[in-house]
Structure 1
């Protein structure tokens, strides 16, 4: 069930907290979704929330004596310039560069938020309740308008919501074994997709100006499904023998990075024809070690791929894909740094095992092993941003020519109540 509250249309301009930096041109107010109110005869308008406290400024933050909040959700926005945190009594939004808290919303009684999905930097958010005392039912997606400081719509389901993905024209809701695609303007259901069991809520959508490309698990182990909505084509890719653990989509939706529960290889596919473009090795000793991959991220130009895992290391790989000839893996030449000890063997890759034709990482950053981190590329050249479920924030720089260990540029803990912003 989908409903829109009978309120005025949300502010067409982003709130000051969400206004994009002057060097970003794709987040202008003309691109915000328009939420039309329903007909006056709508029998189920969403009621006004009982508690509507205003966002607190950082100076009104939790007193230093209070214990740190329990983190329920952590994610970047679509351009990786901000990240959202769901906690046991509200949610917070942070800017990445420079690092600072933009705002927070704390609920008076309980109020756990298990999913916070931003829409770039505009005033619209998607919220799902979570934790032992959820603010909203875990089977509902609440469309929040920060300008009005209230929910303006909701989507209700028969089972818990695992994740939400937003575009300026679509809302994608992921359940355990089904995905729903809605039109953002009127919350009209456009498409339903059945998937294999998907407890992590794996789903990725393109964020470029073109038509929607959506990637989700297929109906078989190791399979991914690619929906090209412009051409109305569905492509199934048998990416791995084991279950899919993680995947990422490039901004334009043309490249897909996948990894399985084995955690030894990352594969790059062309989403149009499903061809394997490149394979990267996560560990030197093939088969001797496995990792749980927490996140994959393409750089904005799809030249680099970042990977975080439970091994306490974030890797950055160079993608050797010729953009002008999809499906062609470009080998190293004499003018390029040799980032893989096996690249010189590419001329006999058909004879050697796949291990000898895969790539190793260019740069690495060491973290606490066993802790969970997600990673994205920063807006500054050759930088990555790393977020940990322990509240850690790292911004690091890598050397694209010489590789090696990354340089740590800054560190913060965004969950510490006495943190200064």
Structure 2
């Protein structure tokens, strides 16, 4: 018998979505009443704003006073087809952009604003009002997949599994046929010369170079399909963190920019040992697995509002919220050994993990602390 409560934001705080700023030093949380900003290092509240209605997503511009807001939840403060640039110094909307269809996600930097619709990505220069640079059709993108780097932005292309990269400096466009099935997650590294991708199958993580668009590495998260929630490069680009609905955080060691991973696995360190060298066995016996993994907390959620939705092409759920479901397993790095995992929902959680080496010289990842950040 299921005794979990139904979704009811009146019973207490309910985080609709969560998002890190560019350097993951803070994370913003959208609520049914407004939004909050928290310190990533401690999980402590930095500011809270009630705006008189629901916010579906809130995206911070660095640590400055500007936050991009999209209405959402049961009683949205703003229409879902408008981006509101909130000036927190004056606590008013300084400018806004209106679209014909609901906004799935917003990304912003000091120089650019990216607006993701279900079948379109708009690229703007950060001005008042924003100045449109380019506009691209995409395959259905209900999760608002988009990664904004210093000089490049990555988002789904016009066919399932395809990644499009737009060079913000030159205006050049590159296309990577990354997967056969629709994308579920993608991320750029800080330098903007690597992009990581996962499809809705969730078994393989692929690493691509930019601007050459060649595949540098391929990693196996697992054998069973899974919903990959988030991908995030460490600041130095030496590791990739991956979370999924298996409630597992994986750490993959990445090749240097000038080398690729060895095609021949080392039986001494490989998950399957000597079996990795047997040529007639299925490929999962020789694939590269994570060098360290641990569990993170998904949090208890009402039936139907958890992470069960796997499709990257269907859109349903909470209005104004990327993917229509509360954010889960969002990954960020404070530095090259400290990982953050943040989740929204009725049971909203913040966790920190430390990457290190054990007595045998093997890489490990252990949880350092956690809290329910809305309590």
2:166 aligns to what? 227
1:135 to 2:135 alignment = no
The match for 2:339 is: 384
Q: Does the 8 Å CA contact 1:297/1:377 hold for their aligned counterparts?
A: yes
TM-score (norm 2): 0.82
Cα distance in 1 for partners of 2:271, 2:221 equals 14
Partner of 2:331: 375
The one-character-per-residue Cα deviations of 1:129-149 (angstroms, maximum 9, x if unpaired) are: 101101111110011111111
Deviations 1:197-220 (A, max 9, x none): 11111111113xxxx211111111
Q: Which has the higher contact order (CA 8 A, sep 6+)?
A: 2
In the TM superposition, 1:11-410 aligns within 5 A as: 67-107=11-51, 109=52, 111-186=53-128, 187-207=130-150, 212-283=151-222, 286=223, 289-319=224-254, 321-323=255-257, 325=258, 328-331=259-262, 339-341=269-271, 354-355=283-284, 357-368=286-297, 372-379=328-335, 381-389=336-344, 390-400=347-357, 401-404=361-364, 406-410=365-369
> What is the root-mean-square deviation of aligned Cα atoms in Å?
2.6
Structure 1 residue aligned with 2:371 = 412
Shift of 1:273: 1.5
Note the alpha carbon deviations across 1:305-356, whole angstroms, 9 max, x for none: 001100011111111x222x2xx3143999x99653479999999x986535
Offset of residue 171 of structure 1: 0.6
Q: Give the number of the structure whose residues are more often strand, by fraction.
A: 2
Q: Distance in 2 between matches of 1:338 and 1:77?
A: 40
The TM-score normalised by the length of structure 1 is: 0.74
Structure 2 CA distance for partners of 1:348 and 1:278, relative to 1, 3 Å:
farther
Query: What is the CA–CA distance in structure 1 between the aligned matches of 2:124 and 2:117, rounded to whole Å?
Result: 14
Secondary structure at the counterpart of residue 125 of structure 1: strand
Q: What is the distance in 2 between the residues matched to 1:102 and 1:221? A: 40
Give 1:222 shift: 1.1
Separation of aligned partners in 2, 1:343 and 1:399? 23
Contact 2:198/2:206, CA 8 A, preserved across alignment? yes
CA distance in 2, matches of 1:253, 1:219: 22
Q: Secondary structure at the residue paired with 2:356?
A: coil
Name the CA distance, whole Å, in 2 between partners of 1:248 and 1:344: 33
Could you tell me how far 1:258 is from its partner in structure 2? Answer: 0.4
Q: Distance in 1 between matches of 2:43 and 2:200?
A: 33
| C-alpha distance in structure 2 between counterparts of 1:343 and 1:233, whole Å | 44
Alignment size in residue pairs:
333
Tell me: CA distance 1:231–1:356, structure 2 relative to 1, closer, same or farther (3 Å): farther
SS of structure 2 residue aligned to 1:78: coil
Query: Gapped runs of 5+ residues in structure 1?
Result: 1-65, 417-421
Q: In 1, are the aligned partners of 2:267 and 2:276 still within 8 Å (CA)?
A: no
